[in-house]
Structure 1
Amino acid sequence: MKELLLAAMLAVTPAQTTVNVKVYFSQGHGVPGKVVPVTRTSPHAGVARFAVEQLIKGPTAAERRRGLHSELTGKLRGRSDCGADFSLKIRKGTATLRFCRTVWGAGVGSDARALRTIDRTLKQFPTVKRVVTLAKDGRCLFDQTESGTSCLTGRE
């Protein structure tokens, strides 16, 4: 009887779903730079969120030895205003990534590489055609224009 009960419980318990995703890291220091995909296994269905988390975490030691790096690793500072490092919404083909902590830029080249890796990482998903990346204050990340809205309008 115990075996039958255990079998019944296993039959109705959902299996752990894992999904392979790509995380695009920078290689070299060109502008906007070469990006190289690596594979990570998401332990849950929130694959886009997981991919961005991995981009912030950065490459493994073996990947760093191959010359890969993330322009976001170690660049988030201060308190979060949303309880996490970022919020992510995907709606009507647009992924809006808003950092909830301050992201410290390291210059034009580094900033361009960071935006490129975010863009490539999120556009791997078929539901994402466009990526908008916002700073904590709601301005486009690393946008130094007066309006700070170039990522929203597509114009500088």
Structure 2
Amino acid sequence: MKELLMATVLTLSPAHAAGSPTQAGTTVKVYFAKGFGIPGKLVPVTRTAPHRGVARFAVEQLIAGPTAKERARGLHSELAGALRGRSTCGADFTVKIAKGTATLRFCRTVMGNGIGSDARVLNMIGTTLKQFATVKKVVALEKNGRCLFDQTDRGTSCLTGRE
């Protein structure tokens, strides 16, 4: 039953696939960090999406992290291993693209690792999702709806552009 539920949750609605090519086998870039600068140097690697949800696939790859060969080249993803706890939506995250904005909402707790790490994670997410022509802005949210890694009282700086 749990497997059926997961299959249902992971089925993409048209909003999830918005702006996505209509053909499986599409090549996408995933931007991993190299080094530990703030916000850090990013290096693209190529992946082939097995389904139409290329934005979802790209974020899944950020969470999975680089391959052994890519790690040997010094690439890393601080999202790899950073998700904790139970999901509030049956998956690790949801992603929707509407009116030029990709909204990524994590459904599990994302453990930050300090300001430098947090900046690199946001940079990887933003750069990876902005490769798609329909994405001009990226909003990354925690499972509770606050902006990811936003420690201000309101937690809405990614929505308003102000703290």
The TM-score normalised by the length of structure 2 is 0.85
Q: Residue 92 of structure 2 corresponds to which residue in structure 1?
A: 85
4+ aligned runs moved over 6 Å, structure 1: none
**Identity of counterpart residues, as a percentage?**
75
> Quick one: distance in 1 between partners of 2:28 and 2:151?
32
Aligned residue among 44, 60, 78 for 1:37: 44
Q: Residue 102 of structure 1 corresponds to which residue in structure 2?
A: 109
> Quick one: distance in 2 between partners of 1:146 and 1:68?
34
Between Structure 1 and Structure 2, how many residues are aligned? 141
Instruction: Give the secondary-structure state (helix, strand or coil) at the position aligned to 2:46.
Output: strand
> Quick one: distance in 1 between partners of 2:74 and 2:118?
18
State the shift of 1:17 in Å.
2.7
> Quick one: distance in 2 between partners of 1:70 and 1:76?
12
Q: Residue 5 of structure 1 corresponds to which residue in structure 2?
A: none
The Cα offsets for residues 36-58 of structure 1, whole Å up to 9 and x where unpaired, read as 00000001111000000000000
Instruction: Give the secondary-structure state (helix, strand or coil) at the position aligned to 1:35.
Output: strand
The Cα offsets for residues 78-103 of structure 1, whole Å up to 9 and x where unpaired, read as 00000000000000000000000000
Q: Residue 141 of structure 1 corresponds to which residue in structure 2?
A: 148
Q: Does 1:48 pair with 2:59?
A: no
> Quick one: distance in 1 between partners of 2:162 and 2:136?
18
Larger Rg: 1
| Runs of at least 5 residues in structure 2 that lack an aligned partner in the other structure | 1-22
Instruction: Give the secondary-structure state (helix, strand or coil) at the position aligned to 2:123.
Output: helix
Q: Does 1:124 pair with 2:131?
A: yes
| Runs of at least 5 residues in structure 1 that lack an aligned partner in the other structure | 1-15
Aligned residue runs from structure 1 range 56-67, under 5 A: 56-67=63-74
Q: Residue 25 of structure 1 corresponds to which residue in structure 2?
A: 32
Instruction: Give the secondary-structure state (helix, strand or coil) at the position aligned to 1:21.
Output: strand
Instruction: Give the secondary-structure state (helix, strand or coil) at the position aligned to 2:96.
Output: strand
State the shift of 1:71 in Å.
1.0
